[in-house]
Amino acid sequence: MPDIHPFYGGVHPPQAKISSRDAIVSAPLLERYVVPLQMHIGAPSRLLVQKGNKVLRGQLLAEASAFVSAPIHAPTSGLIKEVTTCLGVLGNQLPAVILESDGEDKPAEPLAAVPNWQDSAPAELLRRVGEAGIVGMGGAAFPTVIKLSPPPQKKVDTLIINGVECEPCLTADHRLMLESPEKILAGMQICARILGVKRILLGIEKNKPDAVALLREKAQGTPVQVCPLEVRYPQGAEKQLIYALTSRKVPTGGLPMDIGCVVQNVASVYAIAEAVLDGTPLYQRVTTVTGTPLRSPGNWRFRVGTPYSEAIRLAGGVSEDPVKIISGGPMMGIAVYSLDIPITKNTSGILLLSAAEVSQYQSKSCIRCGRCNDTCPMQLMPGILSVQIENESFALAENWHVMDCMECGCCSYICPAGRPLVQHMRRAKADVTALHRAAEAAKAAQEAKNSPAPAPGKN
Amino acid sequence: MQAVIILLSAGVLIGLAIALVVKFFGVQSDPLLEEVTALTPGANCGACGYAGCAAYAAAMVSGAAKPGLCPSMPEESVKKISALLGVTSEARVRKVAVVCCRGNDDMATRQAFYNGVNNCRDAMQVAAGAKTCTYGCLGLGACARACPYGAIEITPKHLAVVHPDLCVGCGKCVQTCPKKLIKLVPASAPLHVLCSSPEKGVTKRKACKAACIGCQKCVKAAGEGQIRMNGFLAVINYGDLPPAEIASCCPTGALSASIAGTEQSAPESEVINA
């Protein structure tokens, strides 16, 4: 096992993992699924079916439309009722298809299974990962196939599997590790074969001793090293996890592959194993539905396109009105206002908070206590940045590395003045990106203007 | 007596020194540039495309820019500058900003409670704001803060309204509004469509009482040349302006004869078929 290097900063929020003993249950078939055509970072997928078409479970509904994109498969068999839009987590309208189930759940011809993956060419395995529409299931939903194909000049020597699940309340990855350790281990080794690396590290927080013990036992005789990690949020953030396990630091604006690492979430490697060993594309995932207002929180295997309302119904409904519904965990999740939003490939949790758990505090002035500086895992200075951002000095904030913020929320969690620090960072990141885009567009327009013969009298 | 003499002579010496320094090291300024700069409004709004009023004045004096790019400069100042520089200036159309939304708290419904940072651009990061209509004014005042002339007011019912007398048409608010609701229109235009939602009429009607529901009454009243439909939204042809009386045919008041700022003082003029 490698030496563990504690990362800088971090906080200790209450764990509240109340559903960690609830085994994964397959959600019953619904009559209607709303399948968004964009469940990943990148371009929306190109639709291949039309209204009125009959599709089978696992059939390709939409194909990748660009380099950064991913195909989407039907969650069940049935009729394409409508090609429309649906509400996304960010409040935006996403292109979507409405699939009316025929109740038979007939599978399409699966992709050819590759049970002897040890002998298959890495390129063949990689193609399969792409075809199965696998994206990063920890939350970012970046297409996995891109992460697994680093350019040849970047030598990757370490594959890190993220089983940390440091986000409070969520237990989906924990349950998946306990219930399908073989598939997860196979998936890791398939990833390692694709990348051609020998060193496979599985990071798990020490608050899951059962998962550590089980995976250690199952990993005997494989190159996988199980590494228990200190319980501290955000231990499962990509850069912090890499540092903890290898003491390497991802450079500013760089990628893990710049320092020879690739990180995959346990749910993603599980999906990879399913795609390669069984030929099943990614159309379902394990999601934690939790929160004190729910009667019976738990972990379910939902098909993509299941509306949040159905997830809450399965969890027994609510015993008191929630005041906040969050897609994801309490630290990094996004508050949503509609239960019509469908579960997508990256919905790791649905969290309901009661009135007692949500505070409606007022933001006050910074008291210069510096606690945000002590907790920021990226070693930024959130207090100073937030003042710059309030004054809309985005160029200055960029110089102070606001773009390195990963929005973990430690600063807002710790701030005694109740300042919306991470909210400011999010806004600044959006506005800095917008400024860069505008500058690029202006430059392109200027070049287009200059390329023909310059107008007389203008210099 | 001695002290007076010492201080007097010291004063004279230092005065001479300053006079010499000014004589030999003084920065030679262009009197023309000074005169032109004095005629600019000094608000540094950037609407001319230069970094500020001084930069625009310098560009005018060097011949790189024409007088008349500044929207807030009075006509006589433009004429004076043109005369000073010996160039001709073209006639300008005065433009004002108009917030194409009437969805205040009485009109528009909300689907969530927003408790975050009090700025539209921050609210956009959280599910694009709390209004049911995702195209409507958030009323958190990003435009009002951006306006160098104080021409935008956020009403107590959370709607941004432009005061046309104060607005000079610099366009800062147009860039700031995250919902892209603000347009620059000719100040003489008698009618505006105060709705920006491209949704279907039924959807809009549910979200906001003041939405343009796409009934096309105004198109029939004014004729295709003056108002046309773009999907479910009426669009005014600012090149061929329809008469102000047409506003009375609009069942929701989305077609308005005034930009919402003046409506605030006369709310009884709003005709809403709820």
Q: State the amino acid at position B225 in one-letter form.
A: G
Query: Nearest Cα to B199, choosing from B232, B243, B159?
Result: B232
Using the beta-carbon criterion (under 8 Å), do A424 and B122 form an inter-chain contact? yes
Residue B41 has pLDDT above 90, yes or no: no
Report the C-alpha gap between B63 and B86 in whole angstroms: 10
What pLDDT is attached to residue B261? Answer: 42
CB B218 within 8 A of CB B234: yes
Smallest Cβ–Cβ distance between A337 and the set B122, B124, B127 belongs to: B127
Q: What is the mean pLDDT of residues B258-266?
A: 50
Query: Over pLDDT 90: what percentage of chain B?
Result: 26
User: How close B270 gets to chain A, by Cα (Å)?
Assistant: 31
- Kindly tell me the sign of the dihedral angle through the C-alpha atoms of A279, A281, A283, A288: positive
Strand A349-353 vs strand A284-290: parallel, antiparallel, or unpaired?
Answer: parallel
Q: Is B263 a residue whose pLDDT tops 50?
A: no
CA A193 to each of CA A113, A122, A150: distance values in angstroms, whole numbers, following the listed order: 17, 6, 13
Residue A163: partners with Cβ closer than 8 Å, 6 or more residues away:
A173, A174, A177, A184, A202, A203, A204, A208, A211, A215, A266
Interface contact B127-A93, CB threshold 8 A: no
Domain shared by B121 and B181, yes or no:
yes
The answer for B124, left when phi > 0, alpha when psi is -120 to 50, beta otherwise, is alpha
Does B103 lie in the same domain as B77? no
Which of B57, B75, B92 marks a domain boundary?
B92
- Radius of gyration for the alpha carbons in chain A, expressed in angstroms and rounded: 23
Within 10 A of A303 (CB to CB), how many other CB atoms are there? 23
Residue whose pair of structure tokens reads 């004429």 in the numeric block: B79
> Which of B48, B67, B92 lies at the terminal end of a domain, its last residue?
B92
The C-alpha atoms of residue A388 and residue A149 are separated, in whole angstroms, by 39
Task: Clarify whether residues B221 and B103 are in a common domain.
Answer: yes
B260 pLDDT band (50/70/90 cuts)? low
* CB proximity A407 to B under 8 Å: no
Low-confidence ranges of chain A (pLDDT < 50): 454-459
**ipTM of this predicted complex?**
0.77
DSSP A260-290: TEEEEEHHHHHHHHIIIII---S-EEEEEEE
Domain count for chain B: 2
Tokens 């504690």 locate to A6
Instruction: State residue B76's pLDDT score.
Output: 86
B105 lies in some domain: yes
**Would an 8 Å CB–CB cutoff place A337 in contact with chain B?**
yes
Cβ within 8 Å, pair B127-A334: yes
The CATH classification number of A117-278 equals 3.40.50.11540
Residue in A with minimal Cα distance to B176? A431
CA distances for A377 relative to A230, A232, A249, B189, angstroms:
14, 11, 12, 55
CA distances from B26 to A100, A342, B55, B62 (A): 83, 71, 21, 22
Query: The domain spanning residue B45 has which CATH number?
Result: 1.10.15.40
In a domain, B5, yes or no: no
Q: Provide the mean pLDDT of chain A.
A: 92
Q: Which domain holds residue B85?
A: 33-92
- B87 — contact with chain A (CB < 8 Å)? no
Task: Compute the distance between CA of residue A61 and CA of residue A44 in angstroms, rounded to an integer.
Answer: 12
User: Which positions 147-206 of B are in contact with A (Cβ < 8 Å)?
Assistant: none
Minimal-distance CA residue of chain B relative to A391: B145
* Same domain flag for B77 and B186: no
Q: Say which of B117, B122, B127 has its CB closest to residue A91.
A: B127
My answer on whether B86 and B114 are in the same domain is: no
How high is the mean pLDDT of chain B?
85
In this structure, are B132 and B152 located in the same domain?
yes
Our CA-based measurement puts residue A90 at a distance from the nearest CA of chain B, in whole angstroms, of 4
Structure confidence at residue A174 (pLDDT): 96
The pLDDT tens digits for B131-157 are 888 899 999 999 999 998 899 999 998
| Beta carbons within 8 Å of A264's beta carbon, 6+ residues apart | A136, A144, A147, A159, A160, A161, A162, A188, A191, A272
Give the bridge partners for A249, in sequence order.
Answer: none
Give chain B's end-to-end CA distance (angstroms, integer).
Answer: 91
Q: Which of B112, B116, B124 sits opposite A337 (nearest CB)?
A: B112
Q: Are A38 and A141 in contact (CB under 8 A)?
A: no
Is B65 a domain residue? yes
Work out whether strand A32-36 and strand A93-101 pair parallel, antiparallel, or are unpaired: antiparallel
On chain B, the residues whose CB falls within 8 A of the CB of A424 are 117, 122
Instruction: Judge if B99 and B228 occupy the same domain.
Output: yes
Q: Which amino acid is at B95?
A: K
Query: Cα–Cα distances in Å, from B52 out to B37, B45, B57, B143?
Result: 10, 7, 9, 19
Determine the Cα–Cα distance for residues A84 and A106; give it in Å rounded to an integer.
24
- Best to test chain A binding among B62, B87, B109, B117 (most A CBs inside 10 Å): B117
Cβ proximity of A32 and A47 under 8 Å = no
Task: Give the per-residue pLDDT at A292.
Answer: 94
Q: Say if the Cβ atoms of B116 and A420 lie within 8 Å.
A: yes
| Domain extent listing, chain A | 117-278, 371-438
Contact: A424, B126; criterion CB under 8 Å: no
Q: Report residue B87 CA to chain centroid gap.
A: 28
> Is B20 a member of any domain?
no
Interface test with B, best of A92, A391, A427 (most B CBs within 10 A): A427
Are the beta carbons of A404 and A447 closer than 8 angstroms? no
Helix/strand/coil percent split, chain B, to 5: 35, 10, 55
> Rounded to an integer, what is the distance from CA B115 to the centroid of its chain?
28
- Measured between alpha carbons, how far is B222 from A251 in angstroms, rounded to an integer? 62
Residue B6 domain flag: no
The neighbouring-strand residues paired with B233 are: B230
Query: In this complex, is the C-beta atom of B111 within 8 Å of any C-beta atom belonging to chain A?
Result: yes
Q: How far apart are CA A95 and CA A309, in angstroms?
A: 20
* Residue A403, SS3 per DSSP: helix
How much is the pLDDT for A304? 95
For residue B125, the chain A residues in CB contact (below 8 A) are 423, 426-427, 430
| Contact between chains at B127 and A431 (C-beta distance less than 8 A) | no
- How open is the CA angle A216-A221-A222, to the nearest 5 degrees? 80
Say yes or no: A427 contacts chain B, CB-CB below 8 A: yes
Q: Which residues contact B184 (CB under 8 A, 6 or more apart)?
A: B95, B96, B97, B98, B169, B171, B174
| Co-location of B87 and B103 in the same domain | no
A93 touches chain B (CB under 8 A): yes
Residue B254 and residue B126 share a domain? yes
Report the distance separating Cα A404 and Cα A381, nearest Å: 11
Helix (H) or strand (E) holding A112: none
Taking only the tens place, the pLDDT of each residue in A34-51 is 999 999 998 899 999 999
User: Residue B89: CB partners within 8 Å, gap ≥ 6?
Assistant: B66, B67, B68, B78, B79, B81, B82
pLDDT at residue number A268: 96
Asked if pLDDT for residue B92 goes beyond 90, the answer is no
Which residues from chain A sit within 8 angstroms of residue B198, using beta carbons?
Answer: none
Query: Does one domain contain both B58 and B116?
Result: no
